Each structure stands twice: as structure tokens, then as C-alpha cells.
Amino acid sequence: MTRVEKPHSDVMQDCKRNLPFLLLCHKSISILHCSAAASKRNKKQDHCDRNLKSCSPRYRKPSDQCGLPEDCITLQWRLNNFYLFIPAVQKHPAPEDTVTASFGKFISEIKPQHLSPVVLHRSKRMVLDSIGVGLIGSRTDVFELALQFCQHMYAPDHISSVYGRRGIRLSPTLAAFVNGVATHSMDFDDTWHPATHPSGAVLPALFALSDMMPANSKPSGLDFLLAFNVGIEIQGRLMRFSNEARSIPKRFHPPTVVGPMGSAAACSRLLSLDPSQCSHALAIAASLAGAPMANAATQSKPLHIGNASRLGLEAALLASRGLEASPLVLDAVAGVAGFSAFYEDYVPQPLESPDDGGHVFLLEEQDMAFKRFPAHLGMHWVTDAAAAVHELLVGHGLGQVSPHQVQDILLRVPQSKYINRPFPESEHEARHSFQFNACSALLDGEVTVQSFSPPAMSRPELHFLLSRVRMEHPEDNPANFNRMYGEVQVTLVGGDILKGRCDTFYGHWRNPLTNESLRKKFRSNAEVVLPSEKVERLVEVVEELDRLDDCGALLSQLQ
């Protein structure tokens, strides 16, 4: 299976055509006072800048995150001094060289021309996929409960739209919440490396916030994409502050840690907050971050993404009202934990200023994994391996798999307690069960949305297979999405042994979904909820998002 995507030649051509775009450059904090006129005044200049820079994607070796870089030691030393000599700092009130300040500055000062064609292309794929899984997610029980809750507890507020529900509008933070819940309700949304689900925390918040802005001064498509990329980038940067974070997590569910920060960053960008307000927004969001892993595989897990989206938006809105928080929240200060509270091995690094030319978006170097079926990412390896065995079994026998041929099923997968569930009882548990996904694929040759329905889950032949499963956790199979593999070994009653192995499933960042496959996934998700004209329109609108003068064209297609 080598369906590797072609180089992004189409994107490069787009770039050469000198994309027209609009910039949201109002400096006002208050979203009710966005000035469309000001946007247009600055348009020409930014356009020129863009012509100079946009066609030269810069590549850079990934920096070594394992050791403690020298400049980082210097920084910590400086921080200690800063603490000891506060009088000196008071004369210079803004300690510009803190990690926290560098993040605030980045969020505030990044511009559309800093987005390379590769980043634009990849982020548009994320937007499309996220909308699709959000739309199909708006038909789940947990989404229904979240929506009921918001409608029951709050009066109708005709502001922000809800995925797939025409006629329902909610207050912006509540819309961000329910749409975030929809996005993660089936565990169908994108996964990055180090492991988190980045889009679900950001996109619903940006939709909700854009809905809040007056009709005549909506952000342009490019501004929207910039804010989205800021939200993704901040999550990626924060994930790299800890080596621990490179492995499948054990304590905090990553989207609850970096998700609110990404949402706060993206919303701050869309609100054009100043550098200090952006860093306060991050610090306020840090106080709303962090949820235990134990709630994975329950209805509360989708709530994690909904809350990340909602609370990040809230943090940005509070910061825009002048609320202040720790100016050192991202820095490592011994004895007073900031964001480091969530990690055992926290080593923060400042973010390069976008204007120095030294910044490259992480998305440029590290692409996204898109799921082909709604389950934890780890399930995709074991499912592809089991599907290969299914093919062999079908060839071996009567054209369909008979469970009673099967003596023993051995899964060689990484050790990770929360996705090791021998007999899952709910759909949420099934989405987090190596055993369930392997057996479904053995039986059916694939895992689909339907595999998690109560009738599919309760099949006796499936339970028979589940009772045959053993697990092994080989030393060379680490709980890490960049290095793990899945191996399925089936011993038949007659003693024959069939093996399947998957090192890189189709959809993984090393073997990305083709645009065609991605759109196919989108269409099948979106069509559950929307009429096909709207589905096609969404595909088009997202494709041309960076050229849209007004992101309202996208907002109007979601329900």
C-alpha cells in the first residue's frame, strides 16, 4: 500500500497566481467595532509583502527536543534572576524575553503571508475533515445531551450556529461547546503527533466567534485560516515542551491540556488582540485546562473537546475585556507551577518572531493523520492488520469468515491501558478497544461507522471472536503514534497460522489520505446531515477558503 500523495503541485500553482485576499487588520479589541474600511486600506501593502514571501516555503530540520538546549538553560537562569531582582524589572515592565511573552507576540503579530502553500493546503484538509466529522457527530447521543443541556439551561441566543441544525442558534461559547462535542463524539477527528486532536478545539470556536461578528465585517477566508493555523501551531509548540507528551498519554487527556490554549490563541488572533492580551488569554486558558485520562472511553471524553473549544474562546473574550493572569504561565518557574503543572518533564522554549523569518509552522514538517473510521487512532493499525488476515481467511474458506474456524487471536500492540478493553460494553469503550476493532475487521474485512452500532456490537460471532483474543506488548512496539505497529496472528482450529501486520495505515501522516479519499470521507459524513448541494458547496468553499473575501460563505453552509 503506497498511496502516497503527490507533491502539492496544484497548490504551488495557486500560489503563483498571486491569490487575492482580504486581511482583517483592525486593531480594535471589540469585535463589534471591526472596521472593514481599515481592512481594505491595509490590503494593498500586505498584498505586496505577500508577493515577496509567499512562494518560498522554508524547510528546516526539526530541532532536537530531547536534551535541554543551551539557550533554554540561559533563559531559565535569567528567569531566576528576574525573580530575585524584581525592582529592576519594574523599570522595564514587559519582560519581552519570557517564553510566555514570545507566544503572545507571535499570536498577535503573525500575518497571512507567513502561511506557506503547504500549510494552507494541509490546514484546509483539516478544516474539511473536521466539518465532516462534526456534521455526522451531530447525530450522536452525547451531542444530543450536550445540545439539550445548552437549550435547557440558556435562553435562545440568535448568534452562533450549530452543526446540522437549521433554526438553532446559541450563545457563541455554547455553540463552540456543542460543535466541539460533535467533532469528538465518535472519536473520528484528526490526530497529530505528538498525540492530540487539534482541530476540534479550534474550528468550532472560530466558527462561533465569526458568527458573532457583524455581517459587514466578517473575517476573510484567509484571516480565518490564519487564526486556525495559529490555534494548531500553539498546540503543537506546547506539545513539544515535554518528551512524555510524545507517547500515548497516561495522566491528562492532551486535547484538554493544549486544546484550550489552541482555542484561546486562535480566538485571540481572530479578535486581533495585542501581544499582552494574547499572553493573558493563554494564561487564563491554562487555568481551564487539564482533564484526567480516566474519562476517556466515556461520554465525558467528547465533552473534553467541547470544553476546550468553549473555554479557549471564553479566555480570549475575558482577555479582551482586560482580565489579567500570570505573565509567566508558560515559563518554567520552580515552586510555582504554570503550564508545567501538566507535565513531569517540562522544558519550554520561546516561539520565534514571525517577522524574523525564522519561523516555520509545525504543520509544514509534521502532517496530520485522518481517520478512516470512528475510533481511537491506535485502532487503525490493528484494524488494517486484521483486515489483511480477513482477506486470507476469505481466500482460505468459503468466502466468508466463520468464527468457529478460529482457535486463537494474538494481537501484538503497544501497552496502553485505556485502549485495552477485552469486552467493551458501550460504543465509547468499543472505540477504545484493540480487541473489538481487530475482531470487527476479522469478521467484516473493515471497520466502519456502522461497526459501533448496538446491533453490530452485540453479534454473537463477534463475541465469540473476542473470547479468543490474547494480547502481547512487544518491547519494540512503543505507545507512540510515530513508531507503533499492529500485528494480528490468527491460529485456526486445524493449526494453520495467518498473520497480518500494519506499520503505517492509510490515513497516517506517512501515508496520507489522497484528496479524493478525504473528500469521500467528508461526503459520506456530511450527507448524513446535509442535502448534497450543500455538501458539494462546502467542498468548494473550503477549497477556495484562502481566496474568500468573507468567511460568511462558509458559515452559511454548516446547517
Partner 1 sequence: MLRKGITESFGAAIQALNAIHLTDGVITRSKRMMLDTLGVGLLGSRTAVFSKALKYSQVFTSEQRSSVWGRSDVILPPHYAAFVNGIAVHSMDFDDTWHPATHPSGAVLPALLALAETLPSQPSGLDLLLAFNVGIEVQGRLMRFSKEAYNIPERFHPPSVVGVMGSAAASAKLLGLSPAQCSHALAIAASSAGAPLANAATQTKPLHIGNAARRGLEAAQLAQIGVEGNPAILDMDSGLGVYYKDYSPSPLADSDSGAFRWILDAQDVAFKRIPAHLAMHWVVEAVLAARAKFLDRTGNFDLSQIQNITLRVPRSKYINCPLPTTEHQARHSFQFNACSALLDNKVTVASFSQAQINRPALRELLSKVQLETPEDNLPSFDRMYCEVEIKSAEGLSSLARCNTFYGHWRKPLSQKDLEEKFSLNASTVLCTEGVEGVIDVVGNMEKVTECSVLGSYLRMTSTSEQLYSMRIM
Contact set with partner 1 (CB under 8 A): 86-87, 90, 142, 145-146, 148-149, 152-155, 157, 171, 250-253, 256, 283-284, 286-295, 297-300, 303-304, 307, 314, 317-318, 321-326, 328-329, 333-342, 417-418
- Shortest separation between residue 208's beta carbon and partner 1, angstroms: 12
Q: Which is nearer to partner 1, 131 or 315 (CB)?
A: 315
- Shortest separation between residue 155's beta carbon and partner 1, angstroms: 4
Q: Which residues pair with 408 in a beta bridge?
A: 491
Set of cell numbers at residue 478: 512503543
Pairing state between β 469-472 and 406-412? parallel
Q: Which is nearer to partner 1, 426 or 515 (CB)?
A: 426
- Shortest separation between residue 111's beta carbon and partner 1, angstroms: 29
- Shortest separation between residue 106's beta carbon and partner 1, angstroms: 20
* Cα distance between residue 279 and residue 273, in whole Å: 10
Set of cell numbers at residue 282: 493563554
Q: What is the 3-state secondary structure (H, E, C) of 306-347?
A: HHHHHHHHHHHHHHHCCCCCCCCCCCCCCCCCCHHHHCCCEC
- Shortest separation between residue 104's beta carbon and partner 1, angstroms: 15
Q: Which is nearer to partner 1, 56 or 81 (CB)?
A: 81
Greatest extent of the chain over all pairs of C-alpha atoms, in Å: 82
Task: With CA atoms as reference, report the closest residue to 545 among 179, 147, 123, 131.
Answer: 123
Q: Which phi-psi region, left, alpha or beta, contains residue 446 (left: φ > 0; alpha: ψ -120 to 50)?
A: beta
- Shortest separation between residue 40's beta carbon and partner 1, angstroms: 29
Q: Which is nearer to partner 1, 179 or 504 (CB)?
A: 179
Q: What is the DSSP string of 53-69?
A: HTT-----PPPP-SS--
Q: Which residues of 129-158 are buried (b: 16+ CB within 10 A; e: fewer)?
A: bbbbbbbbbbbbebbeebbeebeeeeeeee
- Shortest separation between residue 234's beta carbon and partner 1, angstroms: 17
- Alpha carbons within 13 angstroms on the beta-carbon side of residue 16 total 6
* Cα distance between residue 433 and residue 435, in whole Å: 5
- Shortest separation between residue 492's beta carbon and partner 1, angstroms: 37
Q: Which is nearer to partner 1, 257 or 379 (CB)?
A: 257
Q: Which is nearer to partner 1, 14 or 331 (CB)?
A: 331
Main-chain phi, psi angles of 312, to 5 degrees: -65, -40
Q: Which is nearer to partner 1, 324 or 391 (CB)?
A: 324
Q: Which is nearer to partner 1, 251 or 483 (CB)?
A: 251
Q: Which residues pair with 409 in a beta bridge?
A: 469, 490
